[in-house]
Structure 1
Amino acid sequence: MTVPRTVVEVVGRGTDPFALAVVDQVLRAAGATTIVKLTGDDQATVDRDRGNGGLVVFVGGPAESGATALALAALRVNGPEGLPGGGYVLAADRGVIALSGVDTTGTFYAAHSLRQLFVSGKSRAFAIRDWPAAALRGVIEGFYGAPWSHADRLAQLDFYGRTKQNMYVYSPKDDPFLRARWRDQYPPEQLELLSQLVSRATANHVEFTYALSPGLSVCYSSDADKTALVTKFQSLWDIGVRSFAIPLDDISYTRWNCDADAAKFGSGGAAAGAAQAFLLNRVQQDFIAAHPGAERLQTVPTEYYDLADSPYKTALRTQLDKAVIVEWTGVGVIAGRITEKEARQAKEVFGHDILIWDNYPVNDYITERLLLGPYIGREPGVAKYLSGITANPMVQAEASKIAEFTSGDFLWNPDRYDPDASWLAAIADLAGPVAPALKVFAENNYSSLLVRLETGKPDLDSPVLRPLLTAFWSALENGNPRDAAANLSRYLTAMSTAPGELRRGMASNPKFLAETGPWLDQVGLYGQAGDHAVKMLLAQFDGDGAKAWAERGELVTALKRAQAIRVETSRGPRNPSTCTDVCVPFLNSALATADRWFGLPGIRPQPTTSLGTYTDHLPERMVDGDPATYYWSDRAPRSGDAVGIDLGTAQPVSHVDIAMGKPTSPDDFVHDGVLEYSADGEHWTAVKTVTEPVISADFPDGAKARYVRVRSTGTQIFWLVVREFTVSTPDSPRYTVTGTPAGPNLAAAADNNADSMYEAASPPVPGDALVVTATTPKPLGKVVVLAAEAGAGADVQIADAAGGWHTIGRMDGGYTELPAQGAVTDRVRLLWTPGGVAPKIAEVIPAFTR
């Protein structure tokens, strides 16, 4: 079936204009240039056009156009009679297309199914009988934090219509006229914006629900407050709103806002339920029942997150008008699973029809993350048994569309829902030709608390990258890494190129690019760093230390850039979290593996903190080996706040050194705290109390730790600066570094940390030398020198038993490895060649044989 240049449309006086507009768009996109509209059932005209090889499109269900039923009969397809609301029949064959909804919304949905079928401009004959399983399907804008813009909301409403979702609950916490100023009327300009949203919702067959939250200050027994509620609702009714909600969540129900409520209702949960039912019943009677055409009133109870019966729920169950719909989040504020049994229990315990407020993909509690995985963990019977589900989205409106697409898909036909297939369809819908790049980006922002609760696993981010990494490590250990490395590198390259591909291919969606920009950049940088990590480890596998050291430098540069990215969160600036629990652990493991190959201990401590970051003084600076740099919090520590390090795995530890404060703010340290360690992050052992800015402490013999932290046990007015946080293991060698040219961090030349740097302040002059001294003389197998850059030359020497120096070779480039033939010594010297550039040494490594 091909759409010709001229098409005849047969419509009725009641045909939905919004459905008709979609049909016209589909036909013109498929090649039609002229659309002739006929009203009624002019069968002769229709037959003549069909006889000429044309195309006739019938638009309208039984209540819209009588002609469509004749077309369906000719096609031998039953009509939509008897289907649930939103159901439709769509059929095509022999020059006829018929769209017939059981109601106007059904015809609108039929039009959008037609759009999906004609994406290529052609289609085979088809017959579809389709309907939604859930009566209410949509989104509740109910998150805390940065609000959606007006343009975001308009675009969302178009998206809901296109994906056959029929409900949008307006409940943004940023709107003061919803909560703090709920009694006040909207200014005309803001009411006009709401009117535009209502109109756009109507055009998309979306029920716009206005949710007023008076619980912070309402007096339940007050006639004035009831009147204020009704008056506010009337102002919204006048601009076209027909659906209303009164959420009473996130408030205290043990404290009254007026003495009159205490006198009328008493105290306790039962009193709170009775008071809320009293107010809701009055609004139901005085406003909803008094306005023909109003949808059922909705409420969010204060106990919205469990199934345990209580005096509060008993009061609602027995006293609240049965017409009111109760919203519920499942078992838990964020429910890992919602079963049909739980849904039935919710209806029983609340005694009312239930609409699920589903807190996915909302990220206001973890704003450094994007939650781009599919909708999972809900049994099919949930959608059919209850009134419906509204998904609470992310702060990022465009990025929310991936999860919203899949939740809408589930709610339409849960029995056939395939989360993986739906997720891929959502990505294709959002990104079009660059869907492969968006898939790579999304699967590295895939996991969420919902996923972790539903699966019982700690995290499932990066589901494609994770097994590739496992295969690579296994192949490297088994001595045959080439194929696994090639597979991994291809994916890491896709990660590194995805941001550029998306920025080019999704240029028509600048909002998505703007709101995901930091995460895009980070995924790209992690891909770059990962590719360098693979090349580094392969170079070491081949014995090429110079290439391994060069790749290590590129890896660290990309990693530092990724970890320097910041996004604003409710807890202050934070590093965006992509590829969670996968990318950074892999890169740290790769660096630790490489450093052990170079001859270093291979400890890669990662900073941890419950505090935010002031400007660019990142947590990473307290583990960079440079006391001139520092982490600086964005507020004073409170009791329970902590700062520390994560060693990656539990391992023996022997000593810790911590330097807090700085010359310009010497009091920025933990004044009352405790130094403690843990192998699992749950069970902690105290080492000593903390009252001073500098801490040096030994761990008990045999201590093993993954985590070491300083935890505040009091309150203070001073912020926190941590210059260095260093943990030593029993096997960590210790060296003394002396020499010239002078530099601000001479000790960094042999501190077991290849990321720290000794940078001389000037080029060397005759006699300048750098001396690294061990605690005792030992047989020396080789000396490795890791220089930040080539240019500074030196004779590499070792001390003999008589105190003289013996040259074993030259240091000229970035990587130098020289055999020492087992000579017994305790000192290595770099005797600088005068002139040239100022030396920059990451590490001098005396590789003692025992």
Structure 2
Amino acid sequence: MFRPKHRSRRTPLIAVLAVAALAAAPLTFGSGPASAGSGSGPDGGAPTITPAPHSERQRSDRVTITPAVTVVTGAKSDPAAVKLTTAVLKAAGARDVTTAQKAPAGSGSLAVYVGGPSENPASAGALDALRTDGPAGLAAEGYVLAMGGKGAGRIVLSGADPTGTYYAAQSLRQVLPHREVPGATVRGLAVRDWPATPVRGVIEGFYGTPWSHEARLDQLDYYGAHKMNIYVYSPKDDPYLRAKWRDPYPAEQLGQIEELVGRARANHVEFTYALSPGLSVCYSSDDDLKALTDKFQTLWDIGVRQFAVPLDDISYTDWNCDADKAKWGTGGGAAGQAQAYLLNRVNQQFIKTHDGALPLQMVPTEYYNTTSTPYKTAIAGQLDKDVLVEWTGEGVVAPTMTVAQAKRAKEVFGHAILTWDNYPVNDFATGRLFLGPFSGREKGLAEELAGITANPMIQPYASKLALHTVADYTWNDSAYDPDASYRAAVDETAGGNAKVARALRAFTDVNHSSRMDSAEAPELAKLMQGYADGSVQASRLTAAFAALRDAPATIRGGVEKGFVEDSGPWLDSAGAWGRAGVAAVRMLEEQRAGHADAAWTLRQQLPGLVAEAKSFRYTDLNGNKVPVVVGEGVLEPFFAKVRDTSNKDLGLPPQPTGTTKLPVYNGNTADRMTDGDDSTYFWSSRSPKSGEGVGVDLGGEQPLGSVSVAMGKSGSTEDYLHKGVLEYSSDGTTWHALGAEFSGKATWTADAPSGTTARYVRARATADQTSWLVVREFTVARTDRPTVSGGPAAANGSSLAAAADGVPENAYRAASAPASGDALAVTYPAPRSVSSVTVLRPDDASASKARVQLRVDGTWQDLGPLDGSVTALPAPAGTSADAVRLVWADGSAAPVVSEVITK
């Protein structure tokens, strides 16, 4: 952030609004890079303007914010730009801001010229005085911002058109300081800027809870502040856009849309109305054409000047009326012809007959990839050439988009392309927030397109972080740096507060990954890896988890209310993960220091802390409680590694870890295949292809027993590997079949031949399939596990085996106090070398008394008594034993044993 040389204190950018009486268009910009206000960058360089200008240079002169400032306007100066400029000047400390046709002579006060050549002829002379070129030759919406001169100096905001002048005012907002008193001096500046692509903005086109009216108004202000110029109204769950497209809007809803249109115009944003008739339209019907154009006329009458007809997410193999089938036949080509016929009639009979209407937009049914098909050929050949075609890239959610792909899309569709970019939309993964930057789009792409519209999340305020970066890319893709843009977005959301920004960075870090960028929690994951390999001190990782733990409270007190409401359950989950992380690192450090009791106490807390972190829910449009996911693929595996590290120190074998290269659906990650809970599951977000599947890493070479894979679930009974094989491997490279190929079964089971050992086991598809994959449990039995016998009998929900199953979190709990002579025996398949015996018991259930004994050559040898939660007893040197037993004392309480471990 940048600071002026003299400033009494920082004033939030919202103060700009308090100063301005913007009744017709109340502008609410979040506090942005602009919120710092400044005359220079942190090192005396140019102030931060976002989106980054194409050309920007500092001058050697300065301007001064005088007590009185004259805003020089022309007869056609953009009213919104004038209002914004006035507000910005007052927020910078000016006390008396007046408008006039020319600057008063000899006043010694600052003069600010608003308007390009077509708006305010006086700006040309002011630019000449500053020896700065005007906006001639700039693309539409380009602008020149110049400031400097003698004395108090002058500022010129000169757009290639009124929108360009408005954008110059938005840049000025980020350059001037925020002060309560006049007198600030600001270094001279010359900016010459223009958009990389003509159409830049947002399409509210997701499934799920539509945005509220208040959120939409706020979004339109945000778009104007970030130089985005289009908002497409297309929420999938507005019935009057789809299922009830023929019906007129209720008066109240139409009034809200009219208010949106007015707010959009005030922010130089084009409100685009997108009607989706495809579920029931008869393309050849004159009545349906009239219903569609009548609906458009209703919207025209309240100020809408751009229209779209999305025909996505419908079937084109089933006609809605017999007349269409009779006219065009069947198949994709027929559907393309029918759609072109209807859209051409709309274009000719409505768009062309309404002076001022902007080009019609459409979303094809085949809206992604660049494969030539009969449908696309029909659209290319028969749809009017001035209709803009929307396209999502080479996938519905395209990880990358290149110049070559865009050129190919123009060829295949035969039209100018407006991308419907499905980021940061989360309707396909409602348990996630996608808070990372816009990425994967090649430099030069924007220039190949008619425009770029981003489909945002169901959460409007949380979407702003990513939309900030979309705005930066679409304005100036050649200078776009995702990380730098994202840092600016975080700082803007934090309102210039460094503490809030740090909290936001901790929170957004664990909500970073997406289909565009698979890196989740890049900062935290780096520290985790460093801690694991010894290059990062425990204190640094603990501090990172503590920052995550504390971030929700700081964020809740420091950002706009909408962001907090949008992010509530994710904030709660992140904070809980932070608490768990602090405990996990502390547990490992206590264990490494030899503090067994303290380490065991902390380990007992971890399952509850992790369960709490995973307990938070988002309530969707239908009232479903969706588990929220934070730190996908990073946090849960970290705790698995913590567990395995602890187990290794205790002398326990590693626990199995689920693995897959398939993408994950809605947070149902691979580790859920091996958690011992049949109600949780891994779920892929696409169908497996031949050679793909899921596996288990056993953590080390070990003897194999029975292998079982339980797939599918209620509501998704077909989500299993329909054809495949179980395989095992010692090195992860050379694989051996475990039994014959399976087919048509949701549960596979195979027994490994006696003596088989492996580290890896997998279930691999041997054919492509159309259904996704759910795996509830992937279980690999070991043949070297001990057996547990004796008593007292286990209580309901527990088992004797839990006392030595390698999972300390699963405890054997007796149903009653022991009878005289009762003992709990752990017997191994063969004698083993034993140097010590450790017995773990819960802190709150360690009062029962017993003697610990080893069986050596058939004789029981006493090692000592149980003592507290952690009992560690050495065995005589050279001991080889085949069993351990706990002989309960008469009168002892009902015993509880977490784990019996021999080393």
TM over 0.5: yes
Name the CA distance, whole Å, in 2 between partners of 1:77 and 1:644.
64
Which secondary structure does the structure 1 equivalent of 2:111 belong to?
Answer: strand
Quick check: 372-381 or 678-687, which moved more? 678-687
CA RMSD after TM alignment: 3.9
* Contact 1:288/1:294 (8 A) holds in 2: yes
Q: 1:549 aligns with which of 587, 595, 600?
A: 600
* Contact 1:737/1:750 (8 A) holds in 2: no
- 1:22 corresponds in structure 2 to 84
Quick check: 555-564 or 414-423, which moved more? 555-564
Is 1:449 the equivalent of 2:512?
A: no
- 1:716 corresponds in structure 2 to none
* Contact 1:677/1:705 (8 A) holds in 2: no
Name the CA distance, whole Å, in 2 between partners of 1:796 and 1:332.
65
- 1:631 corresponds in structure 2 to 679
Change (3 A) 1:623 1:276: closer
* Contact 1:610/1:643 (8 A) holds in 2: no
C-alpha displacement at 1:2, in angstroms?
Answer: 4.3
Q: 1:820 aligns with which of 856, 875, 880?
A: 875
Within-5 A mapping of 1:379-398: 379-398=442-461
Is 1:753 the equivalent of 2:807?
A: yes
* Contact 1:215/1:251 (8 A) holds in 2: yes
Is 1:829 the equivalent of 2:885?
A: yes
Name the CA distance, whole Å, in 2 between partners of 1:181 and 1:808.
79
Q: 1:488 aligns with which of 517, 521, 541?
A: 541
Change (3 A) 1:707 1:523: farther
Change (3 A) 1:749 1:2: farther
Is 1:785 the equivalent of 2:839?
A: yes
- 2:97 corresponds in structure 1 to 35
- 1:505 corresponds in structure 2 to 558
- 1:47 corresponds in structure 2 to 105
C-alpha displacement at 1:443, in angstroms?
Answer: 2.0
- 1:717 corresponds in structure 2 to none
Is 1:110 the equivalent of 2:158?
A: no
Within-5 A mapping of 1:627-776: 631=679, 646-647=696-697, 654-656=704-706, 677=726, 698-700=751-753, 702=756, 704=758, 726-730=779-783, 732-740=784-792, 743-744=795-796, 745=798, 746-761=800-815, 769-776=823-830
* Contact 2:673/2:681 (8 A) holds in 1: no
C-alpha displacement at 1:598, in angstroms?
Answer: 0.9
Which one-letter code corresponds to 1:537 in the other structure? L
- 1:149 corresponds in structure 2 to 212
The C-alpha deviation readout for 1:797-850, integer Å capped at 9, x for no partner, is 215569775432232222221101144443323344566865432111133xxx
Name the CA distance, whole Å, in 2 between partners of 1:24 and 1:140.
31
C-alpha displacement at 1:97, in angstroms?
Answer: 1.8
The C-alpha deviation readout for 1:541-572, integer Å capped at 9, x for no partner, is 33333333233223333222222333357996
Quick check: 27-36 or 425-434, which moved more? 27-36
- 1:179 corresponds in structure 2 to 242
Change (3 A) 1:760 1:418: same
- 1:455 corresponds in structure 2 to none
Name the CA distance, whole Å, in 1 between partners of 2:457 and 2:818.
57
Which secondary structure does the structure 1 equivalent of 2:208 belong to?
Answer: coil
Change (3 A) 1:570 1:233: closer
Change (3 A) 1:209 1:703: farther
Name the CA distance, whole Å, in 1 between partners of 2:160 and 2:64.
27
Which one-letter code corresponds to 2:551 in the other structure? A
Q: Percent identity?
A: 46
Task: Give the TM-score normalised by structure 2.
Answer: 0.81
Which secondary structure does the structure 2 equivalent of 1:654 belong to?
Answer: strand
C-alpha displacement at 1:165, in angstroms?
Answer: 0.2
* Contact 1:3/1:31 (8 A) holds in 2: yes
Change (3 A) 1:391 1:556: same
Within-5 A mapping of 1:263-278: 263-278=326-341
Which secondary structure does the structure 2 equivalent of 1:603 belong to?
Answer: coil
Task: Give the TM-score normalised by structure 1.
Answer: 0.85
Which one-letter code corresponds to 2:704 in the other structure? S
* Contact 2:376/2:412 (8 A) holds in 1: yes
Which secondary structure does the structure 2 equivalent of 1:558 belong to?
Answer: helix
The C-alpha deviation readout for 1:162-192, integer Å capped at 9, x for no partner, is 1000011111100111111111111111111
Quick check: 792-801 or 100-109, which moved more? 792-801
Q: 1:72 aligns with which of 127, 132, 136?
A: 127
Which one-letter code corresponds to 1:333 in the other structure? V
Which one-letter code corresponds to 1:517 in the other structure? G
Change (3 A) 1:114 1:695: closer
C-alpha displacement at 1:445, in angstroms?
Answer: 1.5
Which one-letter code corresponds to 1:829 in the other structure? R
The C-alpha deviation readout for 1:732-786, integer Å capped at 9, x for no partner, is 4222132237533233122221110123455667655433333444443211111
Is 1:13 the equivalent of 2:75?
A: yes
* Contact 1:736/1:774 (8 A) holds in 2: no
C-alpha displacement at 1:660, in angstroms?
Answer: 9.7
C-alpha displacement at 1:531, in angstroms?
Answer: 3.1
Which secondary structure does the structure 1 equivalent of 2:206 belong to?
Answer: coil
The count of corresponding residues between Structure 1 and Structure 2 is 802
The C-alpha deviation readout for 1:609-634, integer Å capped at 9, x for no partner, is 99999xxx999999666xxx862899
Name the CA distance, whole Å, in 2 between partners of 1:89 and 1:751.
72
* Contact 2:434/2:512 (8 A) holds in 1: yes
Name the CA distance, whole Å, in 1 between partners of 2:779 and 2:399.
39
C-alpha displacement at 1:66, in angstroms?
Answer: 2.7
Name the CA distance, whole Å, in 1 between partners of 2:203 and 2:747.
50
Within-5 A mapping of 1:833-844: 838-844=894-900
Which secondary structure does the structure 1 equivalent of 2:540 belong to?
Answer: helix
Change (3 A) 1:58 1:839: farther
C-alpha displacement at 1:8, in angstroms?
Answer: 2.3
Change (3 A) 1:275 1:660: closer
C-alpha displacement at 1:90, in angstroms?
Answer: 1.4
Which secondary structure does the structure 2 equivalent of 1:48 belong to?
Answer: coil
Is 1:214 the equivalent of 2:277?
A: yes
Is 1:602 the equivalent of 2:658?
A: no
Name the CA distance, whole Å, in 2 between partners of 1:338 and 1:436.
31
The C-alpha deviation readout for 1:264-295, integer Å capped at 9, x for no partner, is 22233332222111111111111001000100
Quick check: 769-778 or 192-201, which moved more? 769-778
Name the CA distance, whole Å, in 1 between partners of 2:88 and 2:167.
13
The C-alpha deviation readout for 1:37-88, integer Å capped at 9, x for no partner, is 22x22x4xx22322xxx22222222232233233222222222233222111
- 2:488 corresponds in structure 1 to 425
* Contact 1:546/1:814 (8 A) holds in 2: yes
Change (3 A) 1:800 1:314: closer
Within-5 A mapping of 1:470-619: 470-475=529-534, 483-506=536-559, 509-568=560-619, 573-605=625-657
Name the CA distance, whole Å, in 1 between partners of 2:719 and 2:223.
51
* Contact 1:789/1:814 (8 A) holds in 2: yes
C-alpha displacement at 1:228, in angstroms?
Answer: 0.8
Which one-letter code corresponds to 2:655 in the other structure? I
Change (3 A) 1:709 1:56: same
C-alpha displacement at 1:707, in angstroms?
Answer: 6.1
Change (3 A) 1:312 1:705: farther
Name the CA distance, whole Å, in 2 between partners of 1:61 and 1:170.
31
C-alpha displacement at 1:333, in angstroms?
Answer: 1.8
Which secondary structure does the structure 1 equivalent of 2:272 belong to?
Answer: strand
Structure possessing the higher relative contact order (Cα contacts under 8 Å, 6 or more residues apart): 2
Within-5 A mapping of 1:83-482: 83-93=138-148, 94-95=151-152, 96-121=154-179, 122=184, 123-432=186-495, 433=497, 434-451=500-517, 459-475=518-534
Which one-letter code corresponds to 1:845 in the other structure? I
Which secondary structure does the structure 2 equivalent of 1:379 belong to?
Answer: coil
Change (3 A) 1:812 1:395: same
